[in-house]
Amino acid sequence: MKLTKRDVYLGRGLGMWAWLLHRVTGLLLVFYLILHILVISSSLGGSSLFDPLLRLLQTPLFVLLEMGLTAAVLIHGLNGIRIVLFDLGLGVRRQKEIFAVLMALAAAMWVWAVLVAYPNLFRVL
Amino acid sequence: MMATNQNVTLKAYRYDPDVGQEPRYDSYQVPIDETTTVLEALYYILERVDGSLSFRSSCRSAVCGSCAMFINGMNRLACRTQIVALNSREVRIAPLPHLPVIKDLVVDMAGFWEKYERVRPYLITTVASPDKEWPQSEEERKAIEEAIDCILCACCHSSCTMSWWDKGYLGPAALLKAYRFAADSRDQAGLERLRLVANEDGVFRCHTIFNCTEDCPKGLSPTFAIQELKKRVLWKKLTFQM
């Protein structure tokens, strides 16, 4: 019997998306951590190795990735607080509201972080 | 809201293991009014169009939990789902996801009941029964009020992504039942209740995805029950009582 013939359950609840977002950002952070350790450890090879790498990290592509990283940290961290609350038995019946508030907070913090980290962003663009 | 007294297209999943053909969806035109339920539409097909369509149902009033199906993207009870409320020209019905299909819309619930048995879903007492009844205060009764409403329809069990991939996981329905007895003032099984669920196939497999709470046709929150059990287990472990 082919599985394709069967309708697939796609969770439509917010909780499922919160979970998926948490997983995906978690994996991205693990990937970033490896990259980070590689970049930092390259400084052991002297400035001839490290300086070009640092220049590479200041190119527009990596600036964009950095903004994405900030978003991932905020989403994962703030939703992490939500999950910890659940494990303490708090707010389980208010999970959607808690998620909405925390993600609004994440968005606000992200805008603030970008403005602080790249004050010249809009002048450059 | 749709206008009433018209036809909708009902697409039902069809599979007969004896025939051995590929599963397919059959389309039926069903006349409805504003109160027609999905179950009534299925009975209309069974009685007037196609007598070979198989599905489970019994009480028709959301008490027995027999007619749980995958209807327009959600696990619902066919008997308490009014077609007008689906707000769609098409009603698509499949058997509960991730349960083995016996025929058409009928799924094999053996695994579900096996898990239900594992949490010992009955009152366990160690002292002799009182002459009349086990007394309970209003407050003690309130603690289990929600969990008692579970009708074991398996909507939650079938929507839980953790149940899909970990076949040993007790799942939301069994864990809600475990909580129902752990929180019951009359139950005397004590730590045994928590031991039954304090493992990776128990409460700790729950990742608080909330699909069970989302799909429960009785509006219960198995996630809440699971988190309460987690909290109790954690407390007993931290204080070396377990």
Report the residue from A12, A16, A19 with minimal CB separation from B73: A12
Alpha helix stretches (DSSP H) within chain B: 38-44, 83-86, 110-118, 138-148, 155-159, 161-165, 171-182, 191-197, 211-215, 222-238
Which CATH architecture describes the domain A5-121?
Answer: Up-down Bundle (1.20)
Report the residue from A16, A86, A87 with minimal CB separation from B211: A16
Contacts of residue A121, defined as CB under 8 A and 6 or more positions apart, other chains included, come to: A114, A115
**Residue A20's closest chain B neighbor by CA?**
B209
Assess contact for A52 and A42: CB atoms under 8 A.
no
User: Domain map of chain B by residue range?
Assistant: 6-107, 110-238
Superfamily holding B6-107: Beta-grasp domain (3.10.20.30)
Give the pLDDT confidence score for residue A125 in this predicted structure.
58
Phi, psi torsion values for B92, nearest 5 degrees: -110, 120
Phi, psi torsion values for B36, nearest 5 degrees: -60, 130
User: In the structure, what pLDDT confidence band is assigned to residue A2 with cuts at 50, 70 and 90?
Assistant: very low
Report the residue from B23, B73, B224 with minimal CB separation from A93: B224
Give the pLDDT confidence score for residue A124 in this predicted structure.
60
pLDDT digit string (tens) for chain B, length 242 residues: 555 578 999 999 999 988 878 899 999 999 999 999 999 999 999 999 999 999 999 999 999 999 999 999 999 999 999 999 999 999 999 999 999 999 999 999 999 999 999 999 999 999 999 999 999 999 999 999 999 999 999 999 999 999 999 999 999 999 999 999 999 999 999 899 999 999 999 999 999 999 999 999 999 999 999 999 999 999 999 999 98
- The better pLDDT of the pair B146, A125 is held by B146
B88 to A50, A73, B4, B139: CA distances (angstroms) = 60, 40, 12, 43
DSSP code of residue B129: P
B94: chain A residues, CB-CB within 8 Å: 6-7
B228: chain A residues, CB-CB within 8 Å: 89
State whether residue B15 sits within 8 Å of chain A by CB. yes
User: Domain map of chain A by residue range?
Assistant: 5-121
B74: chain A residues, CB-CB within 8 Å: 12
Max CA pair span of chain B: 65
Distance (Å, whole) CA A103 – CA A76: 10
Fold of domain B110-238: Fumarate Reductase Iron-sulfur Protein; Chain B, domain 2 (1.10.1060)
CB contact under 8 A, A1 and B15: yes
Contacts of residue B183, defined as CB under 8 A and 6 or more positions apart, other chains included, come to: B143, B144, B147, B228
ipTM: 0.85
Assess contact for A98 and A91: CB atoms under 8 A.
yes
Q: Which residues of B156-168 are buried (b: 16+ CB within 10 A; e: fewer)?
A: bbbbbbbbbeeee
State whether residue A83 sits within 8 Å of chain B by CB. yes
A19: chain B residues, CB-CB within 8 Å: 207-209
